[in-house]
Amino acid sequence: MSGELTQGVLKRIIRQVGLECAAQGQSLSETLVAFMVKAVVLDPRNDFNMDQMLTENDMQDLIQLCVTRLLDTTNPSLNTIKMQVYFDMNYANRDELLSEHERVLEGKLAPVVRAITVSGPHAQEEMENVYQKIVTYVLLRSGLGSPTDIEAIREVTAALQSVFPQTEMITFISLSKKDKEQQLKDLAMLVTGIRLYNKQCQKGGSGFDDLPNILHEAIPSATQTLDERLNSCQLLAYRYMALLESLQEDPPRYSQLSTFKLKEALFNVRQYEAFLCILQSNAITSAQEVEALDVKFEAAMMVLKNTMQDKTSIESKEVFPMFMELSKLWASYQNEMLLLSFLTNMADNLQQFLEIQSQLFPEEMLISLLEGVTVKSDEERIKETMGTRVNVSDFKNQEWLFPETTDNFDQLLIQYHGFCAHSIGVKSITLPGNPAIGILKHKEKYYVFSSKEAAYIFAQDPDKFIQLNVEKAKKYAELIQLLGLCHQFEYLVPHAQARNAKKGLMKPSPKCDSGTQTDTHILPPTIVRSYEWNEWELRRKAIKLANLRRKLTHAMQTDLSHMRRENFTQVYLPKDVGTQTKRDNSSNVPKPQIFLKGLRGGSSPTTHMVTVDLTRPLDET
């Protein structure tokens, strides 16, 4: 079946189950109905196969089974699931609760803040109206008195005028909206600190509750109530476990006792015990916070008194921080009152889910059934097995952890919330595990056991018993949250139906991307990177250096490196110089002038020729 079709079918089933329960007079939350649909589908006895398309008959059978279980008021399993849904939808830790309270307070004060910060009065009468609104805001913000209490209004007005007179309204109006809001908060803290100091000096205090004394009385009372309820439910759990163990040894004696109901009742009490332990831990934290606040508040008040003593005037920069610190400490007292009220209401509302116990197994019935049966507490069971532990040499492929060999042994995240990993699937009993026997580490998860024998049996085939516990959780749906198996069953119920926008019954495991960095070498490195042991490598470097002497340095710029960095090139500029390779010269020699005489003949028959040289000498040229 496709995921989209499955979600559509389940949404339809959830809606139809809710309508039929409402027709029977039971108005149930959508989250509870969604979880019950999941529980019915998971139960192997109902033969629902979510890998196949649900027929119309299958859907009708599923709806009827869900309606029947939701309307069964004698079912401890239903009360356990209701308890889990209620706690999951209403419980919040300290930070979440205080953050939500601050958000609600800001929402209530938003109209007053808006009226102060948005308006820009100029007339005197309008400024006085805004100033009165500031007085109202300071009174509401501090929570010290009612706006209808005339005496409280007078005290706030007097304290406000001492730090913020009406003449400063012009400056206040010129501020931005954000600055106005911040100044309003600062004024509220200053006025609260001044009123607290005046009350300590017996000069006021109208509308003040003595929160420290109230908390000193209320916290021990709440803690005592939680202890009593916790002891009562633990006694029931011890009795149920004793009955279940006795029933396995002598079944005929308890033939009229419903084993299934008894197991469901045990899971109901165990879940109630787990929730009470959470509330008790928060109450102890509150007690510790109040003790620390008492010391801080007394010290801050003493410092302020010493600063203000016998002084008619004092600089604001010196005393204003002290008033604001006093206001912060008082706000912490108010937060502790809020947390204590929340814890008390949670504990009172959880009590209703345990009422089915007295109807199914009255006190007289339990006493008669337990005649001759030894009832052991969790502490007694752990004490009996303190002298035994697993022999590691008996297991070659299993890793066992012990207190003396494991760091942060007490902080290991134990599976099944510390219950014996063997007894859950085999006996359907939530026996306390004893870490001293040995913690088995299997696939990065940790398991504890109630006895050495149970540890040996589980260690022979851990995957088999882990799957057996999962199958047991399918049969008893309340075990999913009791044993912390939510992540294994989230895929069936649509998220939009199973939880609201912020939180729901099955919260996913928190995940985040994280990274860590460690120093590889703590000490500074001493390695010489230039060292070479290879002679031929040294020769290669020498040749390379020798060749560099005849190389020229070039630089260029490409398109990719353009505008990336500055590049420089150095060249030798041309010089104005001349060289002489040859010279032009000339010489003037005398022109030869030679004449011949007698070539034409004469009177004589014989020709006589005479040569006459008229060439000039060289020295005359």
- Break the chain into its structural domains and give their ranges: 1-71, 119-201, 211-370, 378-505
Q: Give the residue carrying structure tokens 């165990």.
A: 270
Tokens in use for 159? 């304290």
Residue closest to 154 by CA, chosen among 171, 139, 141, 174 = 139
Joined together, the tokens standing for residue 72 give 């069964």
Higher pLDDT among residues 590 and 236, named by residue: 236
Is beta strand 610-613 parallel, antiparallel or unpaired with respect to 594-597? antiparallel
pLDDT at position 566 is 65
Taking only the tens place, the pLDDT of each residue in 459-489 is: 999 999 999 998 888 888 888 888 988 777 6
Burial of 462 from C-beta contacts in 10 A (0-12 / 13-18 / 19+) = middle
Q: How confident is the model at residue 119 (pLDDT cuts 50, 70, 90)?
A: low
Confidence band of 232 (pLDDT split at 50, 70, 90): very high
A 10 A CB-CB count for 354 gives 21
Show the tokens assigned to 570. Answer: 């150095």
pLDDT, tens digit, 9 for 90 and up, residues 248-279: 887 777 777 788 888 999 999 999 999 999 99
pLDDT digits (tens, 9 = 90+) for 415-435: 998 899 999 988 888 999 999
Judged against a pLDDT cut of 60, whether residue 372 lies above it is answered with yes
- 3-state SS string for 196-248: HHHHHCCCCCCCCCCHHHHHHHHHHHHHHHHHHHHHHHHHHHHHHHHHHHHHH
- pLDDT range class, residue 495, cuts 50, 70, 90: very low
